[in-house]
Amino acid sequence: MECSKKVLISGAGLVGSLLAIAMKQRGHDVELYELRSDIRKDQSLIGKSINLIITAKGINPIINLGLWKTVKSIVTPVTGRMIHSKDANLTYQPYGKDETECNYSVSRAELNKLLMTEAEKSGVIIHFETGLKGLDLESKNAYFLNGTDKKYDLFLGTDGAGSPTREAILSELGPLASFNIEPLGSHYKELSMPSDNSGNYQMEKTALHIWPRGNHMLMALPNQDGSFTMTLYMPEKWYEDFNSPEKVSQYFLDNYADSIPLMPNYLEEYYKNPQGFLGCIRMSPWVYKDQVVLLGDAAHAIVPFFGQGMNCGFSDVQYLLDQLDLNSDDLHSSLNNYNKHQKLNGDAIADLSIENFTEMCEKVGDTEFLFKKRVEHIIEKTYPDIYRSRYGMVTYTLIPYHMAKEAGEIQSEILEELCKDLKNAEDVDLAKAKELIEGKFSPWLQENKLSIERFRG
Ligand SMILES: Cc1cc2nc3c(=O)[nH]c(=O)nc-3n(C[C@H](O)[C@H](O)[C@H](O)COP(=O)(O)OP(=O)(O)OC[C@H]3O[C@@H](n4cnc5c(N)ncnc54)[C@H](O)[C@@H]3O)c2cc1C
């Protein structure tokens, strides 16, 4: 490291806490500022949190910072999707090419608490209830809502979707910056499925459960204590339309009847829990001169349907660290490269996540889609060394999101050709599949110097 810098970070969420640990490990003088009070002490938050899926690109920096053993103790493995049809039929779709490939479900609040504690252990000072108000980019001074201020050498904005750090860059750059919010038109609400009386799971515990119903759905992810955290996704307007308990229970009866006996508190929770906004935020640039950088949702809030928002934020941290290493801590080159590469990635995962919303709501119940998925699963299992699905690339490898998106287009062509006139997925012509993979996909991998090998840390 060239020399120790005064590094201020705004936002002690998942990305900010991880980043603080990393910058401290590099020898910088790090202070972390957080708008909220300390969630580790807030009793009102106990048991309230969405669950997240953590995958390769998120696990990578956690391993590199020496924290995976600790984080692994609070996760639950999930190996595939369990689709619940309206008449309560279940279809299981494995995620990976075999059972050893899995995602990990974790409570956002528990992970956040763990990372804050690790940040403090490493010597980072966290100032709670000290939200950022604004930045004076000329004098490199940060102003806080409690009236204090602080000078910095480097300011890192990890203050989430409503980022005041982003606001500071936007107002400084004016028309030289771009900013766009794309609302999805659907909102989410948290519900819960408790464990049974003996503390056991009421549904298959190694699956992410989905009740896909067109433009709306219910989802469930397991917790370690036998319960599931449920998320309801519905068009924004329906929340207004369902203005009585009768309408809500009728909606559940029509769509998620098999879940009702397992969710004794769903009506109460429906009214008690807040309704969350869903949308994508795109912004450019993510870097201002050599002094301010945006990471995580502050740079790229996305819809949650690929389960990659935090993972992408963690990959921002890793990419920034890699650039600092490669450029011997030269900020100018490191930040320029960070901006160029991660912006491309952020846009790609935003696109893929919007596409996956349609997939999860509509296509996971669609026969043609399921057929193609089955064929793809067969060829991925048969040729694990030369083929890897787009989902697999995003989730189990460190291949950048924008490259996985590009690969998906080639793979669609291959699947289209293999599924033409095919009646049974199991009868897929494996020789032809190999020929197509070697003719279209392998050269693309070679050209881009990419390995589809699973990330094992
Ligand atoms: C329903 C749902 C499901 C999701 N599922 C997944 C998933 O499965 N996998 C996945 O990878 N991602 C998932 N995500 C996305 C993930 O939650 C976010 O991408 C992630 O939390 C972003 O982390 P962050 O640290 O950038 O921002 P945040 O977690 O939003 O943290 C920002 C922090 O900044 C603080 N802050 C705000 N304003 C100020 C201020 N003025 N000054 C100082 N601090 C401030 C906030 O209090 C907060 O602590 C999901 C999101 C939703 C809504």
Confidence category of residue 45, pLDDT binned at 50, 70, 90: low
All structural domains of the chain with their residue ranges:
6-75+106-181+278-358, 185-277, 366-447
Please, which residues bridge with residue 144 across strands? 132
Q: In terms of DSSP bridges, do strands 141-144 and 149-151 run parallel, antiparallel, or are they unpaired?
A: antiparallel
Q: Which protein residue's CA is at the shortest distance from atom 5 of ligand 1?
A: 52
Residue 95: predicted pLDDT? 82
35 HSE (CA, 13 A, CB side)? 15
Alpha helix segments (H runs only) across 262-389: 266-272, 297-300, 309-326, 331-361, 367-382
Q: Are 157 and 10 in contact (CB under 8 A)?
A: yes
- Distance from Cα 15 to the centre of ligand 1, integer Å: 8
Residue 185: predicted pLDDT? 94
- Distance from Cα 297 to the centre of ligand 1, integer Å: 6
- Position 114 pLDDT exceeds 70: yes
Cα 215 to Cα 358: distance, rounded to the nearest angstrom = 8
- Cα-only R_g, the chain: 23
Query: Which phi and psi (to 5°) does residue 100 adopt?
Result: -75, -15
What is the signed CA dihedral for 289, 292, 297, 298, rounded to 10 degrees? -90
Tokens 């969420």 locate to: 13
Tell me what percent of the residues of the chain surpass a pLDDT of 70.
96
Q: Give the lowest-confidence range in 47-51, 166-170, 349-353, 408-412.
A: 47-51
Does residue 294's CB lie within 6 angstroms of at least one atom of ligand 1? no
Read off the amino acid at residue 318. Answer: Q
* 42 or 210, greater pLDDT: 210
248 HSE (CA, 13 A, CB side)? 15
Does residue 399's CB lie within 6 angstroms of at least one atom of ligand 1? no
Alpha-carbon distances, residue 149 vs 4, 118, 169, 294, 441 (angstroms): 20, 25, 18, 20, 54
CATH for the 6-75+106-181+278-358 domain, from 3.50.50.60, 3.40.50.300, 1.10.150.110, 3.90.280.10: 3.50.50.60
Residue 294: predicted pLDDT? 98
- Position 236 pLDDT exceeds 80: yes
> Pocket of ligand 1, candidates 34, 104, 310, 356: which has the most ligand atoms within 8 Å of its Cβ, to mutate?
310
Residue 362: predicted pLDDT? 66
Residue 183: predicted pLDDT? 95
- pTM listed for this prediction: 0.94
Dump pLDDT digits (tens) for 386-424: 999 999 999 999 999 999 999 999 999 999 999 999 999
Cβ burial 393-419 (10 Å sphere, 16+ → b, else e): bbbbbbbbbbbbbbbbebbeebbeebb
Residue 427: predicted pLDDT? 96
- Position 72 pLDDT exceeds 90: yes
Beta strands per DSSP E along 166-291? 178-193, 207-212, 217-222, 228-235, 275-284, 287-288
Q: Are 255 and 248 in contact (CB under 8 A)?
A: no
Mean pLDDT of 184-188: 94
Does residue 108's CB lie within 6 angstroms of at least one atom of ligand 1? yes
Average pLDDT for the chain: 94
Mean pLDDT of 419-430: 94
Taking alpha carbons only, the member of 317, 396, 401 closest to residue 119 is 317
Q: Give the lowest-confidence range in 55-59, 91-95, 186-190, 234-238.
A: 91-95
- Distance from Cα 308 to the centre of ligand 1, integer Å: 11
- Position 127 pLDDT exceeds 50: yes
Dump pLDDT digits (tens) for 19-28: 999 999 999 9
- Position 46 pLDDT exceeds 80: no
Cα 155 to Cα 31: distance, rounded to the nearest angstrom = 10
How many other C-beta atoms lie within 10 A of the C-beta of residue 147? 8
Residue 1: predicted pLDDT? 45
Does residue 158's CB lie within 6 angstroms of at least one atom of ligand 1? yes
- Distance from Cα 12 to the centre of ligand 1, integer Å: 10
Dump pLDDT digits (tens) for 264-309: 999 999 999 999 999 999 999 999 999 999 999 999 999 999 999 9
